[in-house]
Structures are given as structure tokens and as C-alpha cells.
Structure 1
Amino acid sequence: MDVEIGLQTLLVVSGVTAAAPFIVVALRRLKVPQVVVLIVGGVIIGPSVLDWGNPVSVELLSDVGLGFLFLLAGYELDMALFRERGGRRAVVAWFVTAAIAVLVTGALAASGLVHAFVPVALGLTTTAFGALLPILRDNGMLSGRFREFIMPAGAVGEFLPIVGIAIFLGAKGKFLGLLSLVAMGLVALALTYLPRLARGGRLSRITTEGQHETSQITLRLTLFLLLALLVVASKFGLDVVLGAFLAGVVLRRWAPGDVHSLESKLDAIGYGFFIPVFFVVSGMSLNLQSIADAPLRLVGFFFLLLAVRGLPSLVLYRRDLHIVQRWQMVLLTATALPLLVALAAVGLRTGEMLPENAAALVGAGVLSVVVFPGLAVALNKRVPAEDLLPTTAAQPD
């Protein structure tokens, strides 16, 4: 019976993912991102509305989709960006956001509105970099000056909160959480050097010759790398998204053979199936009743994401970006979802977070994905043509 429920749920979820591109085309004048259609479709078919499926029955596929989301986010990240102005700005912006988040969350805790201080504070510093990538790609926003700043800003907004989760919310305590984080980094670093051992040898020839055959060696090795780091992260007591993100960073240096071909295959598997399933299941899992019982909490968290994570960009990037692009940074960096789901789960598991706050936090994340990227895309046509060109020289800090 469980298998039958799982198959029925997967069928309905697949129906939403298949229909989403057609709906996006039908609503092309409204510039609705496909992610929005997937989440809203999940809400409609979920237990809170039509109840056509059980999200728990496809939870494993959803988790793999989340892994792919962070894998591709890590893969897109060029670590060299952090040696440039945009990378330094991104780190400074995140720590400014973290300081504001601590003050705001402290005030909410003092008033009795928040019990789970750390999960909420971390939640206000997150950016859904992985979720934004397909939107930025589809709308030609990953080129020129803007790329130099949004890429590191998104990556920092995803990676540093993961580090915070590992240290402050890890199941093994803060000290062991920090040690586990270091150990996880060392494992990832070691994996980047493995291909060098096989370079030029028989293993390298087999890999290169079999990458386009039925064996699809490079793709299988990539999937093995992803799952291995997910398992290692879980064993260390860390959030699996850390393992997926590191897998993407490792893969950028590790991938053998025809890299462009591998990218297209990963896009096909990730964006073709697993990632859309994650977004649909996220919509299905949204507790609409809890949100309806306390709608102002959702609205409050929604505006806090914008104010705490987004608005500092207006000041911090004033010397780097046109005013329209700074507002795009505000909207895009304030977009959050996957880590909010993880933080809400941690808060509920430990009993620190109120159920209504957990639902409101996730709901605010869903609403941010629905609203903010669409507004940022709409602003793109107001960006002056010269600001769409890459920078020609680094500016002094």
C-alpha cells in the first residue's frame, strides 16, 4: 500500500512538473518564475487543498532534489570570485546582516514572540542561491557586472548559514560540530586531489572513453560523489545541504573528461526531474492551517527577510552597482527557502521553535521565492545598457 501511495503521489508531482513550463509560457507577460509555479502547484495538490498525495511518501526523492539544488549551486560558484571585490563585499554584507539579525531576533525573543533564537537569527541571514540560479539563468542575469556581485552574495548567504547550523545546531554540540565541519572540509579537499592520482593512467583512459557510452562513467562517478558527501555529512551530524554544496565545489575541480557535456547531463537530471520534485513537495508540505491561524507571523517574517538580509545591499553596494541593480540585490539576497525548511525542522525537533513560527518561517520563505525574484526580473529592463557589461578593472575598496 505504501508503494502504491508513493507511486500515485509521484505521478501527481510529475504532472505538476510537466505542466509547469506550459503555465510559465501562458503567463509569460507576468514574468512568473517556474519555481513559483512548482511551489504553488505543490500547495494545490497537497494535503491542505486537494490532498492528491502524501509528501512523506516521496520524501527521499525530494531530499535528493535538494541535494542536486546545492550541488549545482556549489558547481556554479567560482572560488576565485572571493579574491575579488564582489567576494569581499559579499562576506562583509553577510556579517552586517548577521549582526542585524541577532539584534532583531533578540528583541523578538525578549517580547516572547520567538523561543528559538539561533534558528530564527540564522534564517534571517539566508539566501536561496540554488533556487535563484535557474531564474537568473533563464533571464540572462548571470553575465556582466551583476554576476560579479550576485554570485558570491548568493553563495555566502547559503554557505555561511550552513556553517552556523553545523556549529550551533549540530546534534553533537558546538565544539564537536566545529570539528565535524573541519573534518568534512578536509574530506572534500582530499577528494579534489584523487583524480590527479589517476591522471594519465588506465583509470583515466577508461573514464574518458566511457563518458559518452552506455556506461556514462563520469555521470555515475558524479552521482556517487554527491551521495557519498551527503552520507558523510549526515554521519558527522551536519546538515546534508553542506555535503551537497561541497560536492558541487569539489566537482568543479574534480570533473574529468568533457566538462561541458557533464554539465548538460547534470542539468538534465537535476532540473529535469529531482529539483522540480523538491519544489513541488515543499509546496505540498506547507502547513496552511498554522499559517491561517497566525497570518501576521508570516507577514512579519516576510518583511524581516527583506529588511534584514536585503536592505543592507542598498548601502553596501552603492559604489559598485547602479541603483536598479542594488534593488535587484535587495530582492534576490532576501529570497530564502531551502535552509528555512531545514532550520524549521531543527527547531521543531529540539522543541525550541513554536509550531506556528516554524510554519510562518517556511511560509515566508515560499512567499519570498514567489514574489522577490519576479520583481527583480521585472527591474532588469530598467538597468542601463552600460551596466550590463563586465567591469574592466577592479575598483579600490
Structure 2
Amino acid sequence: MSSELGLGLTSLFVVVLVAALTPVLVGLFGRLRIPQVVVLILGGVVIGPEVLDLADPDSISLLANVGLGFLFLLAGYELELAVFRHRAGRLAVAGWLVTVALAIAVVAALAALGAVRAFVPVALGLTTTALGTLLPILRDNNMLGGSFRPYVLAAGAVGEFLPIVAIAIFLGSNGRFVGLVSLLAMGALGLVLSLVPRLSRGGRITRILKEGEHATSQTTLRWTVALLLLLLVVANDFGLDVVLGAFVAGVVLRRWAPGNVETLERKLDAVGYGFFIPIFFVSSGMGLDLQSILDAPARLFLFFLLLLVVRGLPTLLVYRTALPRGRRFELVFIVSTALPLLVALSEIGLETGHMLPENAAALVGAGVLSVLVYPAIAVAIDRRLARTRDEAGEPRP
């Protein structure tokens, strides 16, 4: 066994061990209600090169990227495109546009003060929402039911998808025009792939896929993974961020998947949340630059507050006629939660040399803190609203 393979296996074992211990730790300290995502990231910090140095992040980078792909695949799969024809979708887009205007103004002020060098990555970072990260938290707390569901999913999807589109156009490795053309080509490919099932519906291939979906061949799961990897490869070759390919894969999959869709969802959850996605979060923690955060902690708290002010607070105004006050405050903290795209934006900023290392670390650190704090506040608000309705004898929406 080569030393490189041995290092990779050792690192993978340590990372998987952290992932396996995480639900146990969360269960033991259940009263604190810490999201598993936060424990995974903190576990990555502990085993990473900044603390114990038990694992090498580079040796698991491929698996971490596939984990990122699964995260956005499942987020895209949750998105119902029909929602954008309804009020929830229109309000989500309006809220994001207000956020963009605020982000430009705030980051321009920071740039004028010399605190920010990478204007576009930081501004885009303040417009993001970590829908993929939020989904397990919202599911575990039964917050995706009733009339509130479309508003949450639409706001989260817009806060995830539109920043990805902006990244492809403004931060693509081949320039803005080529980035726009590549983005359109990616969308066209997604549309073509979504039409494939119609061409084979009722045919022999469809029967084969349905017959094998629960057998050892696991046909639907294998084709789903193949679709994900195909779009990741295409996105990478086009100079786009892999999260765009994964998100498109999820959107396509919703119309593409043959057989029992609910069964496929459970299989994807098992493969994604059971293995690949935890590796991504642990790897993110391993790559966190603690020294930069310790040298300039004020930056982290500044970005943490700006995520709430820039991304969250416009919700109170935009949704004032659509949601009651309690639900609006709940949505404020949901949409203010960000992380995966902050990691991607920081990596892009560092690779191009446009982002200061301390800002990159602070942005990711703010994302980690947002995942720890903001969903917990949203859950607390949701439970308080539920208790109030129960005491009044009102049905839950």
C-alpha cells in the first residue's frame, strides 16, 4: 500500500468517524439543540491541520466535492419550479433584488474604508441562503409543512440559485460573456435532459429501470448519480462552479426520475446525508483558517451581522402582506443562514488573489456562526408560534 493511499484512507476514516460521532453528540447534548451541520464543521476544525492535524483535507477533496454536489442536488430536487408562477416565488425574487441593492451599498462602503478588496465575491456572499444546509434542520423540526412551506423553499431556492448564476457570470474563469454563454448552454442541457423520459416513456428501457430500482442493480439510483456527475463535469468544463451543475441536476431529476420517486428520495438521503454530505462539511471545517479569524475576530462578527441585516431584514418589508409578523421573523433568520456558497466564494476570491485571506476566513466563519445561531432562533420562533396556536385551539397552518 502506497503512503499516499494510506494517508487518504486514514484521513477518510477520521472524517467518517467524526460523521458517525456527530449524531451521538447531538443526542447527548440534545437540550442545546445544536444542528448536526455545526458539529460536523467544528469536528473538521478539531481534526484538521489547525488543531490536531489528524487528517489531510487534500486527500479527501474529491469526495468532499461530490458531497457538495449531493447537497445542491437535494436542494435543487426540493425546488418546485411551479412556485415561481405564484406569489411565493415573485416575493422571493423581489426580496433577493432588494438584498442585492443593500449588499452593493454596504460592500461599497466597506471597500471605501479599505476593509474589503474583493467587492463582487463579498457582495454576492451577503445575498446567499444555505437552503441545502437548512433542509435537514427544517425537516428535523417539522418546519416544511403547511402554507409556510412554499415561502421557505422559494426564498431559499432564490437565495441559492440566483447567486450561483451571478457567480457563473461575474466570477467565471473565462470572462463574463463566455460565462453567460456557458450558463445558457448549461440551462439548455438541463432542459434536454428533462425531456429524455418523455422519449422513452412506456418503452422497454423504462420497464427495465423500474424493475431494477429495488434489485441489486439499483437502476434509478445509479442513473441519478450518473446524471449528477455528468452535470458536475459539464459545469467544470464550462468554467462554472460545480454547485450550478448539481443544482441543475436536482431540478432535472424532479422531472427525470423513473419509478417510485419517494423511494428514490429516501435512497438519495441515505447516500447523500449518510456519507458524502458529512464529508463535505467536515472538510470545510478542516480548511477553516483559524489564525486569520483570531487575528481579526471583528470581521467575522461584522459579516455575521451583515448576513442578517442585508439578507434577512428586507423580508420584514417584502412579505408584510403575505405572512403574519411571527412567520416573517422566522423567515428572516432562515434566509440569513449561509455557508456552502460562502466557502465557494472564498475559494474563488483566494484563487484569483482578489480576496484578503482574513476576509475569506471571516466570511466562512460568519457562515458557520450563522448556521449555529440563526436556524436555532427560527426553530425557537416556530415552536413558540405552535404553542400559541395550540393554546388558542387553532389548527396549524
TM-score (norm 2): 0.96
Check whether the contact 1:46–1:55 (CA below 8 A) recurs between aligned residues.
Answer: yes
Gaps of 5+ in 2: none
CA distance in 2, matches of 1:17, 1:28: 17
Question: How far did residue 350 of structure 1 move?
Answer: 1.0
Report percent identity of matched pairs.
64
Alpha-carbon distance, 1:52 to partner: 1.0
The structural deviation recorded for 1:146 is 1.8
Distance 2:370 2:56 in 1: 25
Supply the distance in 1 between the matched residues of 2:46 and 2:381 (Cα, whole angstroms). 29
* Alignment-derived partner of residue 292 in structure 1: 294
Distance 1:387 1:283 in 2: 43
Q: Does 1:15 align with 2:10?
A: no
Higher mean displacement: 27-36 or 174-183: 27-36
Partner of 2:154: 152
Partner residue, 1:283: 285
Q: Offset of 1:375 from its aligned partner?
A: 1.6
In structure 2, what is the Cα distance between the partners aligned to 1:321 and 1:375? 18
Partner of 1:365: 367
1:147-168 per-position Cα deviation (integer Å, ceiling 9, x unaligned): 1211100000000000000010
Instruction: Map residues 255-274 of structure 1 onto 2, 5 A cutoff.
Output: 255-274=257-276
CA distance in 2: counterparts of 1:13 and 1:387, whole angstroms:
46
2:203 paired residue number: 201
Distance 2:345 2:269 in 1: 27
What CA deviation, in whole Å up to 9, does each residue of 1:300-326 have, x standing for no partner?
A: 111111110011112211222232222
Cα deviation, residue 327, structure 1 = 1.6
**Alpha-carbon distance between aligned partners in 2 of 1:154 and 1:218, rounded to the nearest angstrom:** 27
Aligned-partner Cα distance in 1 for 2:353–2:265? 41
In 1, distance between residues paired with 2:319 and 2:197?
39
**What amino acid maps onto 1:93 in structure 2?**
G
Task: Provide closer, same or farther for how the CA distance between residues 311 and 289 of structure 1 changes in structure 2, counting only shifts above 3 A.
Answer: same
Contact 1:45 1:284 in 2 (8 A): yes
Aligned in 2, Cα 1:348/1:49: closer, same or farther, shift over 3 Å? same
Deviation at 1:66, TM superposition (A): 0.4
Tell me which residue corresponds to 2:380.
378
Task: Kindly indicate whether the alpha-carbon contact (under 8 Å) linking 1:318 and 1:326 is maintained by their aligned counterparts in 2.
Answer: yes
Q: In the superposition, relative to structure 1, how do residues 150 and 387 fare at CA in structure 2: closer, same or farther (>3 Å)?
A: farther
Q: 3-state SS of the aligned residue for 1:103? A: helix
**After superposition, where does 1:98-117 map in structure 2 within 5 Å?**
98-117=100-119
Of the structure 1 ranges 128-137 and 49-58, higher mean CA displacement relative to structure 2 is found in: 49-58
Match of 1:337?
A: 339
Q: Verify the 8 A CA contact 1:145 1:389 in the aligned structure 2.
A: no
Structure 1 residue 387: Cα displacement:
8.4
Name the counterpart of 2:44: 42
Distance in 2 (CA, whole Å) between partners of 1:290 and 1:388 is 49
Give 2:143's aligned amino acid: M
1:265/1:387 CA distance change after superposition, 3 Å: farther
Give the aligned partner of residue 395 of structure 1: none
State the one-letter code of the partner of 2:48: G
Task: Report the aligned-residue RMSD.
Answer: 1.2
Answer yes or no: is the 8 Å Cα contact 1:331–1:376 preserved in 2: yes
Alignment of 1:232-247 (within 5 A): 232-247=234-249
- Aligned pair partner of 2:253 in 247, 251, 254: 251
Mapped partners of 1:317, 1:309: distance in 2: 13
Corresponding residue of 2:219: 217
- The Cα shift of 1:29 comes to 1.4
Contiguous gaps of at least 5 residues in structure 1 = 391-397
Amino acid in structure 2 at the alignment position of 1:53: A
Counterpart for residue 394 of structure 1 = none
Q: Contact 1:143–1:388 at 8 Å: present in 2 too?
A: no
Please tell me the residue identity of whatever aligns with 2:293. Answer: I
**Partner of residue 306, structure 1:** 308
CA distance, structure 1, for counterparts of residue 135 and residue 395 of structure 2: 18
Distance 1:214 1:257 in 2: 15
- Structure 1 CA distance, aligned partners of 2:233 and 2:50? 32
Structure 2 counterpart of 1:61, from 60, 63, 69? 63
Query: Once the two structures are superposed, what CA deviation does each residue of 1:79-114 show, in whole Å capped at 9, x if it has no partner?
Result: 111111111110000000000000001111111111
Over residues 21-40 of structure 1, what are the superposed CA-to-partner deviations in whole Å (9 max), with x where a residue is unaligned? 11111121122111111111
Write the distance in 1 (CA, Å) between the matches of 2:220 and 2:295.
50
**Structure 2: distance between partners of 1:341 and 1:237:** 17
- The aligned amino acid for 2:83 is L
Distance in structure 1 (CA, Å) of the matches to 2:255 and 2:118: 38
Task: Render the CA deviation track for 1:316-353: whole Å, top value 9, x for unaligned.
Answer: 11222232222221111111111011111111111111
Letter in 2 for 1:179: V
CA distance in 1, matches of 2:35, 2:350: 30
Partner of 1:393: none
Q: Which moved more, 1:218-227 or 1:43-52?
A: 43-52
Report SS of the residue matched to 1:140. Answer: coil
Q: Does structure 2 conserve the Cα–Cα contact (< 8 Å) formed by 1:145 and 1:388?
A: no
Matched AA of 2:141: N
Residues 1:388 and 1:293: Cα distance change in structure 2 (over 3 Å): farther
Decide which of 156, 162, 165 is 2:164's aligned counterpart.
162
